[in-house]
Each structure stands twice: as C-alpha cells, then as structure tokens.
C-alpha cells in the first residue's frame, strides 16, 4: 500500500546543516534554490498568480496519484501543536463577514466568517484543498483536514468548482511548503454560505459589520442592499442614511453629505438622515444655510432642520 507523507513539522537546523555539509557543491546549490523557492511561496500573490500556482499544484498531485492507486493514498501527519488551528472554544453571538484582504497571517479570526465560491477544481494532498474566491475577488487556498475517508473522489465530490461556502473563524497561516492559506482542522467549520439576496438580508449583514466596526464591509453590504432594493423610497432612504454613517466613520465627509442628503430627499420624515446630514455638513465645513456646489454632492439651497 502506497502512502502519501505530509511533513508538517519543522526540520532540525543542526541536521539540515550536517546534511548540506555532506553534499557536493551542485547538490548544495540545488537545495538552496529549493529553499529560496520555499520562501518566495510565502509572499502574497495576486488572484491570477494564485490560480496559476494552484493549477500547477493540481497537475503535480494528479500526476502523482496516477502513478499509484488514489484510493490507497493516506495521509501521515507529522505535526506540532503550533501547526494546528487553536481551539475555538464556545462562540458568542453571530459571526461577522470578512474578506481575504482583511486576513492577518498567523491569526485565528475570532467572530468572523469568510464566504466565497470555489474557483478551481480541488486537490487531494492528504488533506482536501481548494481555492476560494470571496465577493471582492480575493483568492485564498483552504486546506481541510480530518474528513472521514478523505480521497480524491471524496474531495472532488464535496469541494467542487462553483460551490459557494463559508469558513467559520478562519485560521490564516503559512503552510510547510511555504504557501499561504487557511487551515481547517474541524470540517464542521465549513458551512453553506448565506443565501442573502433581498435588501433586508444585505441590510442585516451591513448592520452586523457596522456593530463590529467593520465600516468598509458595512458600506459594501448597504450598497448591495440598495442594488437589490425594489425601490420603495423609505427603504432606499434608510440605506442611503446607513451608508452616510459608514462614510463618516471612514472620514469621507463629502460623500456622507451626498448620501445623507439623498436620504433626506427620498424621505423627508427620516429623522436619522437629517441628523447625519447636519453632522456631515459640520464635519466637512460647509455652511449649513448656504451649500457650496461641489463635485459629487447634491446641493440644496438650505439644510432642513
């Protein structure tokens, strides 16, 4: 029976030096070149580069599987405790959406959830590996361990290209081959993505992000809610007002003026929109009774109190 060995432990530096000293110059040069390639893989890549590298890796592992019986491919994991995802413990409250660009290396993102679509055919390396593209176009590798009877067929059945899913509290790390990605030790942390499609769905997600002080993501969800809205004036007014508050939190006061002004225009009874309009005007420094007409701003003759 053939065995696939996945080395996830750290090599002993003394033994590595001893091995290098026993080699000839050509072999030493080859090993050092391999080490440089390893370090270069730890550099964050563009989505296109991630896809290209993932396809190359898939071809490599597919070729290896063709030489042996893929049904007999087993994983021997030699790992230290630091290599696995730290225990999550009990979660409190709902999870807030995050994106690939907001992930921090070496961090378990407590209270966050990363949603996306599998954008390439998966790989079986002893773990099930797929490439996930988030709603902003960010791409990241995800390796899932401890799937019962994991194999090429199981991996391709579960993590097929085009499936939408989410990773709860993603652990972003550097793998032992030098590449960067998310490690999942508990398969139950892979869940179906939210089915948000209505304005109220996106608004709820925006509210969650805002409460978590993720103002840019809240802004994005409120925008999606606006795009999905069936155009009732009161709902649009609320969404414009919410986006105005996000822009103020991000320091974009001129945009906040435009959005809160639009909200007030859509629904003159929206008290929050009027209050945010007044705040935005004060922060931008515009005269509250004589509006300057500036690019990107809807101008009114006076601020309604």
Burial class (CB in 10 A: 0-12, 13-18, 19+), 249: middle
CATH 1.25.40.10 domain position(s) in the chain: 199-284
Q: What is the 3-state secondary structure (H, E, C) of 197-225?
A: CCHHHHHHHHHHHHHCCCHHHHHHHHHHH
Give the tens place of pLDDT for each residue, 107-125.
999 999 999 999 999 999 8
At residue 305, the 3 state secondary structure works out as: coil
Residue 182 contacts by C-beta under 8 Å, 6 or more apart in sequence?
103, 114, 132, 140, 141, 142, 143, 167, 170, 171, 172, 173
CATH 2.40.50.140 domain position(s) in the chain: 37-80+94-192
CA separation for the pair 305, 288 (Å, rounded) = 10
The proportion of the chain whose per-residue pLDDT surpasses 90, expressed as a percent, equals 45
pLDDT at 30: 60
Q: Is residue 190 within 8 Å of residue 182, measured between CB atoms? A: no
Does 59 have pLDDT greater than 60?
A: yes
Give pTM, 2 decimals.
0.59
One-character DSSP codes across 47-59: HHHHHHHHHHHHH
Quote the CATH superfamily of domain 199-284: Tetratricopeptide repeat domain (1.25.40.10)
Q: Is residue 256 within 8 Å of residue 248, measured between CB atoms? A: yes
Give the tens place of pLDDT for each residue, 70-120.
445 444 444 444 467 776 666 656 789 999 999 999 999 999 999 999 999
Looking at CATH, the fold of the domain delimited by 37-80+94-192 is given as OB fold (Dihydrolipoamide Acetyltransferase, E2P) (2.40.50)
Q: Is residue 151 within 8 Å of residue 159, measured between CB atoms? A: no
pLDDT at 4: 41
Give the tens place of pLDDT for each residue, 245-291.
999 999 999 999 999 999 998 888 899 999 999 999 888 876 544 44
pLDDT at 44: 78
The proportion of the chain whose per-residue pLDDT surpasses 70, expressed as a percent, equals 71
């Amino acid at each position: 029976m053939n065995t696939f060995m996945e080395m996830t432990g750290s090599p002993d530096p003394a033994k590595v030096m001893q091995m290098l000293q026993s080699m000839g110059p050509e072999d030493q040069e080859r090993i050092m070149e391999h080490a440089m390639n390893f370090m270069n893989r730890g550099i964050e890549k563009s989505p296109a580069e991630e896809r290209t590298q993932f396809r190359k890796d898939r071809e490599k592992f597919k070729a290896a599987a063709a030489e042996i019986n893929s049904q007999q491919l087993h994983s021997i994991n030699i790992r230290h405790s630091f290599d696995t995802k730290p225990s999550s413990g009990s979660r409190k409250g709902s999870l807030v959406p995050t994106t690939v660009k907001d992930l921090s290396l070496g961090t378990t993102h407590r209270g966050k959830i990363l949603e996306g679509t599998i954008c390439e055919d998966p790989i079986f390396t002893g773990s099930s590996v797929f490439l996930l593209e988030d709603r902003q176009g960010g791409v990241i590798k995800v390796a899932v361990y401890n799937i019962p009877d994991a194999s090429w067929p199981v991996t391709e059945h579960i993590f097929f290209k085009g499936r939408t899913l989410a990773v709860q509290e993603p652990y972003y790390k550097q793998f032992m081959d030098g590449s960067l990605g998310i490690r999942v030790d508990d398969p139950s942390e892979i869940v179906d993505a939210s089915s948000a499609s209505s304005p109220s769905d996106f608004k709820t997600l925006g509210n969650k992000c805002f409460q978590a002080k993720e103002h840019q993501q809240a802004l994005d969800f409120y925008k999606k809610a606006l795009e999905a809205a069936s155009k009732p004036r009161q709902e649009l007014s609320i969404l414009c007002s919410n986006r105005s508050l996000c822009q103020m939190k991000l320091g974009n006061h001129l945009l906040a003026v435009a959005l809160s002004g639009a909200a007030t225009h859509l629904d003159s009874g929206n008290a929050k929109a009027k209050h945010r309009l007044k705040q935005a005007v004060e922060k931008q420094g515009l005269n509250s009774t004589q509006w300057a007409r500036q690019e990107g701003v809807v101008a009114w003759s006076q601020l309604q109190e």
